[in-house]
C-alpha cells in the first residue's frame, strides 16, 4: 500500500507540496474550500495535471503518457475542508498545512481537526513567519505540532526548515525529517523564532530596500549592483546587506534560549540553501572586511527577489513579524503597501516593481518622442501577451512618432502552458484569441512600430516582430518558426505576416521545415546592424512608415509549390503532424485572397481546430521537446 499524507490548502505552495509527494509515490488527500466552488476545484485539478505532465527526472518525463498521468492522479483525493472530511486525516502519516498565513485562521483549522479526530495527528505547518509555539497554543496535543517550512518554488528549492517548539515530540521531528528526505529535500532544524532562520535574516533586507525606495532610491540601480558584484561599493546596497548581517549577529544571541542552536557555519549554509545567495551573512561580512565583495555576485537583487516572491507576500510577512515583535519590526514600507493595494504583485501578475513588458518615452534630437516598449521575458506567457495588447492600446493616446519594440533572446510562447490548452480546447480558444488581439493591436497601431531583435527570436517572439512595420536586428541574431515540430503551427500571425514579408517559398521553408533556423538578414528583417544606437534608431524612425500587408501571389507554378511542400514533409523522421497540413492551408489560402485581418482569422481558426482535433500530436510534440528527442506523430 502507498504511504498517505494530507495537504490542507491548494494554493501555489500547497499544490506544489502535494505534487512532490504524488511524484514520490504517496497517496495524497488535498483539502480546500471546494464544496461551494466547483470551478475552483477544477482549476486546481488542471494545475496538478499540468505539474504531472511536465514532471522531469534525469531529462526524462516521469509520466510520459496520458495513462501514466491518470494513474498518478488516481492517488490524489480532492476533499472539501469540512469537519466530516477531516475525519479522514486519521488515515494519514501526517498533515501538512499550507493555508493563509494568519494566526487566527490556523488556530481555527487546528481546532476543527481536533474536534473530529479521536487520536492526535502530526500537524506540520508550512508557516513562513509565525512562531510554532503560538500555533500550538490552539491544540489539545501541542506535542504533535511542528513547523515544516518549504521555499518557493518548491520543485527547485531543496531546503525545508524544520521548526520544533519546546514541546514538540521527538517522534514528530523524526517523522518530519523522514517526509522531507522522502521527496529529496535537505531537512534542517532551526529555532522557533518569528521568521525562523532564513526569513528572519532575509526580510530585514526587503524591509530596508523598501524604506530606501520610499526615500527615492533607484530600484534598478540597487538590483544591478547586486548582480554585477559592485554592491560593496554602493552605499544603499551596503545598507541592505548590513541589515542582513546585523540580523544574523542578533540571531546568534536570540537563539540561546531556543531548543535548537546553530553555529555561524550552519547559519551560512542554511541561508544559502534558502536564498541562493553567493554567501551566507557571515561570509558576506568577511568579504566586506577583506575587500573581496566583487567576487560575490547575486543571481538577482532584493527588489527583483521581492517581485519573484510576491510583493503582497513580502508585505504580509513583514506585518506578521511586526505582530509578533512590534519593538523589532517597523511598518511595512509604503511602496509595498501601495503596490499590493494596486494588485501589482510582481511576477505572478506580470507587473510589480518590474513589468513583463516595460514602457517609457524617449525624446529624440528633434524634440519629438517615441515610445520604447521592452519585452523582459524570454518566453511569452498568456499573461504577458495580454499585457502587450494593453500596452499598445494605451499608447494610442500618447503623442508619439513611433513605437520601438525591443525583443531580446525570446524563445517564443511559453511551451509549458500548452499541455493545458491541449487538454482544454476552450482555454486554447481563449489563448489564441488573446494572441491575435495583441498582434492586431500592433499591426493596427496608427504610428510606425519598429521591432529591435537581439540574440534569438523564435516562434512567438519572431511573430511579435513580424507584426511590426519594420524589423531591425543586431548582427548574429537567429530567427525561426519551429511550431510544427511541436505538433502545432504558428498561432501569432506567422503564417500571414511572415509570408507577406518573405514570400511563399521562404515561408514554406521556415514554417514547414522542422529544422530551419536562419541568421537575421533580408528579407527576414529590414536591416542588420552591428550595434543599434540611439542615433541610427532615430534616423530609422524618421524614415519609417506603415507596412503594406496586401495579399500576394505565389511565385512560380502550383506544381512547384506542391513539390517543395512534399520534400519538406519528408524531413520528418516518422510522420508529419496534422499541423503540417493546417499550416499549408493557412499559408496558401490566407495570403493569396484575404486581407491581413481575414488571413489572421483563418490562421486562428485552424490553430484552434488543431487543439480540438489533434491534441495527441500536440502533447507528443511537447513531450519530445522536453525530452530532447524526435517526436512520433500520428496525425491525431
Task: Please give the distance of CA 20 from its chain centroid, rounded to a whole number.
Answer: 18
Distance, CA of 91 to CA of 85 (rounded, Å): 11
pLDDT higher than threshold 90 for residue 559? no
Name the pairing type of β-strands 449-458 and 478-480: parallel
Model confidence at 560, pLDDT cuts 50, 70, 90, reads: confident
Q: Quick check: 496 and 502 in contact, CB under 8 A? A: no
Q: Quick check: 20 and 183 in contact, CB under 8 A? A: yes
Q: What's the chain's Rg over C-alpha atoms?
A: 27
**Per-residue pLDDT at 476:** 97
Q: Mean per-residue pLDDT for 414-443?
A: 96
- What average pLDDT does the structure give for the chain? 95
pLDDT higher than threshold 70 for residue 556? no
**Per-residue pLDDT at 573:** 60
**Per-residue pLDDT at 330:** 93
Q: Cis check for the bond before 153: say yes or no (omega within 30 of 0).
A: yes
Running DSSP on this structure, what letter comes out for residue 333?
A: P
CB-count burial class (<10 Å; 0-12, 13-18, 19+) for 264? middle
Running DSSP on this structure, what letter comes out for residue 334?
A: H
Residue 234, C-alpha cell as written in the block: 554602493
Helix, strand, or coil (residue 234): coil
Model confidence at 574, pLDDT cuts 50, 70, 90, reads: low
Residue 40, C-alpha cell as written in the block: 475552483
Distance, CA of 519 to CA of 472 (rounded, Å): 13
Please report which residue ranges of 543-577 form alpha helices under DSSP H: 558-569
Q: Mean per-residue pLDDT for 260-274?
A: 98
User: Percentage of the chain surpassing pLDDT 70?
Assistant: 99
End-to-end distance of the chain based on CA atoms, in angstroms? 37
Q: Quick check: 7 and 30 in contact, CB under 8 A? A: yes
449 phi and psi angles, rounded to 5 deg:
-115, 125
pLDDT digits (tens, 9 = 90+) for 217-249: 999 999 999 999 999 999 999 999 999 999 999
- How many helices (H) and strands (E) the chain has is answered by 26, 18
**Per-residue pLDDT at 359:** 96
Nearest to 281 by CA among 242, 328, 315, 324: 242
Residue 467, C-alpha cell as written in the block: 507584426
Name the pairing type of β-strands 95-97 and 123-125: parallel
Model confidence at 591, pLDDT cuts 50, 70, 90, reads: confident
Backbone torsion region of residue 105, taken as left when φ is above 0, otherwise alpha when ψ lies between -120 and 50, otherwise beta: alpha
Residue 118, C-alpha cell as written in the block: 479521536
**Per-residue pLDDT at 390:** 96
Please report which residue ranges of 156-294 form alpha helices under DSSP H: 170-182, 198-214, 219-228, 235-254, 264-275, 281-290
**Per-residue pLDDT at 558:** 67
pLDDT digits (tens, 9 = 90+) for 29-79: 999 999 889 999 999 999 999 999 999 999 899 999 999 999 999 999 999
**Per-residue pLDDT at 627:** 94
**Per-residue pLDDT at 211:** 98
Q: Cis check for the bond before 296: say yes or no (omega within 30 of 0).
A: no
Nearest to 404 by CA among 433, 442, 441, 430: 442
Q: Give every CB contact of residue 10 below 8 A, 6+ residues apart in sequence.
A: 18, 30, 31, 32, 34, 44
Q: Which residues pair with 489 in a beta bridge?
A: none
Structural domains of the chain ordered from first start: 4-189 (3.40.50.720), 198-341 (no CATH), 357-627 (3.90.226.10)
pLDDT digits (tens, 9 = 90+) for 191-224: 999 999 999 999 999 999 999 999 999 999 999 9
CB-count burial class (<10 Å; 0-12, 13-18, 19+) for 237? buried
Name the pairing type of β-strands 470-474 and 527-529: parallel
**Per-residue pLDDT at 562:** 83
Distance, CA of 163 to CA of 18 (rounded, Å): 20
pLDDT digits (tens, 9 = 90+) for 363-398: 999 999 999 999 999 999 999 999 999 999 999 999
Helix, strand, or coil (residue 496): helix
**Per-residue pLDDT at 333:** 98
**Per-residue pLDDT at 553:** 80
Counting Cα atoms < 13 Å in the Cβ hemisphere of 7 gives 26
Q: Mean per-residue pLDDT for 123-133?
A: 98
Q: What is the pTM of this model?
A: 0.94
Amino acid at each position: 500500500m502507498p504511504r498517505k499524507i494530507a495537504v490542507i490548502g491548494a494554493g501555489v505552495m500547497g499544490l506544489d507540496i502535494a505534487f512532490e509527494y504524488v511524484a514520490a509515490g504517496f497517496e495524497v488527500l488535498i483539502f480546500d474550500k471546494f464544496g461551494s466552488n466547483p470551478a475552483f476545484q477544477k482549476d486546481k485539478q488542471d494545475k496538478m495535471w499540468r505539474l504531472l505532465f511536465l514532471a522531469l527526472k534525469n531529462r526524462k518525463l516521469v509520466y510520459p503518457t496520458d495513462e501514466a498521468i491518470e494513474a498518478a492522479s488516481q492517488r490524489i483525493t480532492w476533499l472539501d475542508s469540512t469537519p466530516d472530511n477531516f475525519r479522514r486525516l486519521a488515515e494519514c502519516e501526517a498533515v501538512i498545512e499550507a493555508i493563509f498565513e494568519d494566526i487566527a485562521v490556523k488556530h481555527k483549522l487546528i481546532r476543527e481537526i481536533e474536534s473530529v479526530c479521536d487520536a492526535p495527528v502530526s500537524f506540520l505547518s508550512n508557516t513562513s513567519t509565525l512562531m510554532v509555539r503560538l500555533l500550538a497554543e490552539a491544540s489539545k496535543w501541542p506535542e504533535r505540532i511542528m513547523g515544516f517550512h518549504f521555499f518557493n518554488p518548491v520543485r527547485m528549492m531543496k531546503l525545508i526548515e524544520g521548526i520544533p517548539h519546546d514541546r514538540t515530540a521527538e517522534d514528530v521531528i523524526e517523522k518530519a525529517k523522514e517526509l522531507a528526505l522522502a521527496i529529496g529535500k535537505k531537512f534542517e532544524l532551526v529555532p522557533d523564532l518569528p521568521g525562523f532562520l532564513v526569513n528572519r535574516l532575509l526580510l530585514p533586507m526587503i524591509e530596508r530596500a523598501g524604506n530606501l525606495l520610499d526615500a527615492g532610491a533607484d530600484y534598478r540601480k540597487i538590483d544591478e549592483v547586486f548582480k554585477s558584484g559592485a554592491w560593496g561599493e554602493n552605499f544603499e546596497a551596503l545598507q541592505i546587506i548590513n541589515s542582513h548581517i546585523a540580523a544574523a549577529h542578533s540571531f546568534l544571541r536570540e537563539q540561546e534560549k531556543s531548543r535548537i542552536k546553530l553555529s555561524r557555519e550552519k547559519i551560512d549554509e542554511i541561508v544559502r540553501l534558502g536564498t541562493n545567495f553567493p554567501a551566507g551573512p557571515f561570509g558576506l561580512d568577511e568579504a566586506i572586511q577583506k575587500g573581496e565583495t566583487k567576487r560575490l555576485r547575486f543571481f538577482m537583487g532584493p527588489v527583483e527577489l521581492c517581485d519573484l516572491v510576491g510583493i503582497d507576500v513580502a508585505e504580509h510577512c513583514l506585518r506578521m513579524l511586526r505582530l509578533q515583535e512590534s519593538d523589532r519590526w517597523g511598518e511595512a514600507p509604503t511602496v509595498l503597501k501601495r503596490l499590493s493595494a494596486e494588485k501589482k504583485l510582481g511576477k505572478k501578475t506580470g507587473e510589480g516593481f518590474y513589468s513583463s513588458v516595460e514602457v517609457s518615452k524617449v525624446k529624440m534630437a528633434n524634440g519629438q518622442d517615441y515610445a520604447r516598449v521592452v519585452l523582459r521575458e524570454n518566453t511569452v506567457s498568456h499573461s504577458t501577451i495580454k499585457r502587450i495588447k494593453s500596452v499598445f492600446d494605451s499608447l494610442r493616446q500618447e503623442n508619439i512618432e513611433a513605437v520601438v519594440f525591443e525583443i531580446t533572446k525570446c524563445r517564443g510562447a511559453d511551451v509549458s502552458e500548452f499541455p493545458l490548452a491541449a487538454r482544454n480546447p476552450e482555454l486554447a480558444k481563449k489563448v489564441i484569441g488573446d494572441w491575435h488581439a495583441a498582434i492586431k493591436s500592433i499591426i493596427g497601431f496608427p504610428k510606425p512600430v519598429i521591432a529591435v531583435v537581439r540574440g534569438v527570436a523564435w516562434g512567438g517572439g519572431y511573430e511579435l516582430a513580424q507584426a511590426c512595420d519594420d524589423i531591425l536586428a543586431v548582427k548574429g541574431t537567429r530567427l525561426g518558426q519551429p511550431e510544427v515540430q511541436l505538433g502545432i503551427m504558428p498561432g501569432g500571425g506567422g503564417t500571414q505576416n511572415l509570408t507577406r514579408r518573405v514570400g511563399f517559398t521562404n515561408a514554406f521553408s521556415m514554417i514547414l521545415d522542422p529544422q530551419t533556423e536562419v541568421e537575421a538578414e533580408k528579407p527576414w528583417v529590414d536591416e542588420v546592424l552591428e550595434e543599434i544606437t540611439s542615433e541610427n534608431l532615430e534616423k530609422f524612425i524618421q524614415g519609417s512608415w506603415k507596412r503594406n500587408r496586401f495579399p500576394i501571389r505565389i511565385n512560380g507554378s502550383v506544381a512547384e509549390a506542391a513539390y517543395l511542400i512534399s520534400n519538406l514533409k519528408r524531413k520528418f523522421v516518422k510522420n508529419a503532424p496534422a499541423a503540417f497540413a493546417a499550416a499549408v492551408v493557412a499559408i496558401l489560402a490566407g495570403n493569396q485572397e484575404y486581407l491581413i485581418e481575414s488571413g489572421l482569422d483563418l490562421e486562428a481558426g485552424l490553430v484552434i481546430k488543431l487543439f480540438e482535433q489533434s491534441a495527441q500530436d500536440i502533447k507528443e510534440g511537447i513531450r519530445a521537446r522536453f525530452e530532447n528527442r524526435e517526436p512520433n506523430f500520428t496525425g491525431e
